[in-house]
Chain A
Amino acid sequence: MGRQQGFAIRVEGVEQDFGAFPALRDVTLDIQPGELVALLGPSGSGKTTLLRVIAGLNAPDRGHVYFDGEDATNLPVQDRRVGFVFQNYALFKHMTVADNIAYGLKVRPRRSRPSRSAIAARANELLRFVQLEGLGGRYPAQLSGGQRQRVALARALAIEPRVLLLDEPFGALDARVRKDLRRWLREVHKETGLTTVFVTHDQDEAMELADRVVVLNEGRIEQIGTPAQLYDQPASPFVISFVGEAVALPVTVAAGHVKFGDRELHIDTHGLRSGPARVFFRPADIAVSASGAGEIEGRVESLRRTPAGVRATIAIDGYDQTLEIDSPLENAAALGDRVPLSLAKARIFPTEESAYVDAGEGI
Chain B
Amino acid sequence: MTSPNFAGRNARRFKAPSVIPGFGLTFGYTLLYLGLVVLLPLAALIWRSSGLGLSGLYDIATEPRVAAGLRTTFFISFCAALVDLFFGLIVAWVLTRYDFFGRRLLDAFVDLPFALPTAVAGISLAALYAPNGWFGEPLAAYGIKIAYTRWGILVALIFIGLPFVVRTVQPIVAELETELEEASATLGASRVQTVLRVLLPPLAPALLTGFALAFARSIGEYGSVIFIAGNIAYVSEIAPLLIVVKLEQYDIPGATGIATIMLAISFAALLAINLVQAFARKRFGHV
The residue of chain B having its C-beta at the shortest distance from the C-beta of A161 within the complex is: B186
Q: Mark A81-125, 1 if CB is under 8 A from B, else 0.
A: 111101110111111000000011001100000000000000000
Q: Nearest Cβ in chain B — how far from A199, in angstroms? A: 14
| Segment 249-277 of A: residues with Cβ below 8 Å from B | none
Q: Nearest Cβ in chain A — how far from B210, in angstroms? A: 17
| Segment 198-232 of B: residues with Cβ below 8 Å from A | 198, 201-202, 204
| Segment 87-102 of B: residues with Cβ below 8 Å from A | none
- Chain A residue numbers with a CB within 8 Å of B285 are 93, 139-141
A55 touches B (CB below 8 Å): yes
Q: Mark A301-317, 1 if CB is under 8 A from B, else 0.
A: 00000000000000000
CA distance A158 to B187 in the complex (A): 9
A159 touches B (CB below 8 Å): yes
Are A103 and B202 CB-contacts (below 8 A) given A90-B179, A94-B284, A141-B283?
no
CA distance A81 to B185 in the complex (A): 10
Q: Nearest Cβ in chain A — how far from B233, in angstroms? A: 47
CA distance A120 to B202 in the complex (A): 23
Q: Which of B4-12, B74-82, B189-197 is the contact stretch?
A: B189-197
B248 touches A (CB below 8 Å): no
Tell whether, in the assembled complex, residue A107 and residue B187 are in contact, meaning their CB atoms are under 8 Å apart: yes
Tell whether, in the assembled complex, residue B286 and residue A93 are in contact, meaning their CB atoms are under 8 Å apart: yes
Are A159 and B284 CB-contacts (below 8 A) given A84-B183, A90-B177, A92-B198?
no
CA distance A92 to B200 in the complex (A): 11
Besides A84-B182, A90-B180, A93-B284, 20 new A-B residue pairs in contact (Cβ under 8 A), listed by A number: A55-B186, A76-B185, A77-B186, A78-B190, A82-B186, A86-B179, A88-B177, A90-B183, A92-B184, A92-B197, A95-B201, A103-B197, A107-B187, A107-B188, A107-B189, A107-B190, A139-B283, A140-B285, A155-B187, A156-B186
The residue of chain A having its C-beta at the shortest distance from the C-beta of B194 within the complex is: A107
Checking A78, A81, A91 against B189 with a beta-carbon cut-off of 8 angstroms, the contacting residue is A78
| Segment 119-160 of B: residues with Cβ below 8 Å from A | none
Checking B179, B184, B204, B283 against A103 with a beta-carbon cut-off of 8 angstroms, the contacting residue is B184
Q: Mark A133-148, 1 if CB is under 8 A from B, else 0.
A: 0000001110000000
Are A107 and B193 CB-contacts (below 8 A) given A90-B177, A90-B180, A141-B283?
yes
- Chain A residue numbers with a CB within 8 Å of B186 are 55-57, 77-78, 80, 82-84, 156
- Chain B residue numbers with a CB within 8 Å of A107 are 184, 187-190, 193, 197
The residue of chain B having its C-beta at the shortest distance from the C-beta of A82 within the complex is: B186
- Chain B residue numbers with a CB within 8 Å of A88 are 177, 179
Q: Nearest Cβ in chain B — how far from A194, in angstroms? A: 14
Give the 5 A-B CB pairs with smallest separation, nearest first.
Answer: A141-B285, A104-B187, A90-B179, A107-B189, A90-B183
A residues apposed to B, CB below 8 Å: 55-57, 76-84, 86-88, 90-95, 103-104, 107-108, 139-141, 155-156, 158-159
CA distance A93 to B190 in the complex (A): 19
Are A159 and B283 CB-contacts (below 8 A) given A90-B177, A103-B197?
no
The residue of chain A having its C-beta at the shortest distance from the C-beta of B282 within the complex is: A141
Are A103 and B189 CB-contacts (below 8 A) given A84-B183, A86-B182, A92-B180?
yes
Dominant SS at the A interface?
loop
- Chain B residue numbers with a CB within 8 Å of A77 are 182, 185-186
Sample 15 A-B pairs with CB under 8 A, ordered by A number: A57-B186, A76-B185, A79-B188, A80-B186, A82-B186, A86-B179, A90-B183, A92-B183, A92-B198, A94-B204, A95-B201, A103-B187, A103-B189, A139-B283, A141-B283
- Chain B residue numbers with a CB within 8 Å of A56 are 186
B residues apposed to A, CB below 8 Å: 177, 179-180, 182-190, 193, 197-198, 201-202, 204, 283-286
- Chain A residue numbers with a CB within 8 Å of B286 are 93
CA distance A155 to B285 in the complex (A): 20
CA distance A81 to B202 in the complex (A): 26
Tell whether, in the assembled complex, residue A159 and residue B188 are in contact, meaning their CB atoms are under 8 Å apart: yes
Interface core residue of B185, B187, B197, B198 (most chain A CB under 10 Å): B187
Checking B182, B188, B190 against A90 with a beta-carbon cut-off of 8 angstroms, the contacting residue is B182
Tell whether, in the assembled complex, residue B182 and residue A57 are in contact, meaning their CB atoms are under 8 Å apart: yes
- Chain A residue numbers with a CB within 8 Å of B201 are 92, 94-95
The residue of chain B having its C-beta at the shortest distance from the C-beta of A108 within the complex is: B188
The residue of chain B having its C-beta at the shortest distance from the C-beta of A77 within the complex is: B185
Interface core residue of B179, B184, B188 (most chain A CB under 10 Å): B188
CA distance A57 to B187 in the complex (A): 12
The residue of chain B having its C-beta at the shortest distance from the C-beta of A52 within the complex is: B182
Interface core residue of B180, B184, B186, B193 (most chain A CB under 10 Å): B186
CA distance A103 to B183 in the complex (A): 10
- Chain A residue numbers with a CB within 8 Å of B182 are 57, 77, 84, 86, 90
Checking A55, A78, A108, A139 against B284 with a beta-carbon cut-off of 8 angstroms, the contacting residue is A139
CA distance A233 to B189 in the complex (A): 45
CA distance A108 to B190 in the complex (A): 9
CA distance A87 to B187 in the complex (A): 16
Q: Nearest Cβ in chain A — how far from B28, in angstroms? A: 41
CA distance A196 to B204 in the complex (A): 37
- Chain B residue numbers with a CB within 8 Å of A158 are 187
The residue of chain A having its C-beta at the shortest distance from the C-beta of B283 within the complex is: A139
CA distance A206 to B64 in the complex (A): 78
Q: Nearest Cβ in chain A — how far from B215, in angstroms? A: 23
- Chain B residue numbers with a CB within 8 Å of A86 are 179, 182-183
- Chain B residue numbers with a CB within 8 Å of A103 are 184, 187, 189, 197
CA distance A159 to B188 in the complex (A): 8
Q: Nearest Cβ in chain A — how far from B241, in angstroms? A: 41
Checking A87, A104, A140 against B188 with a beta-carbon cut-off of 8 angstroms, the contacting residue is A104
Tell whether, in the assembled complex, residue B284 and residue A141 are in contact, meaning their CB atoms are under 8 Å apart: yes
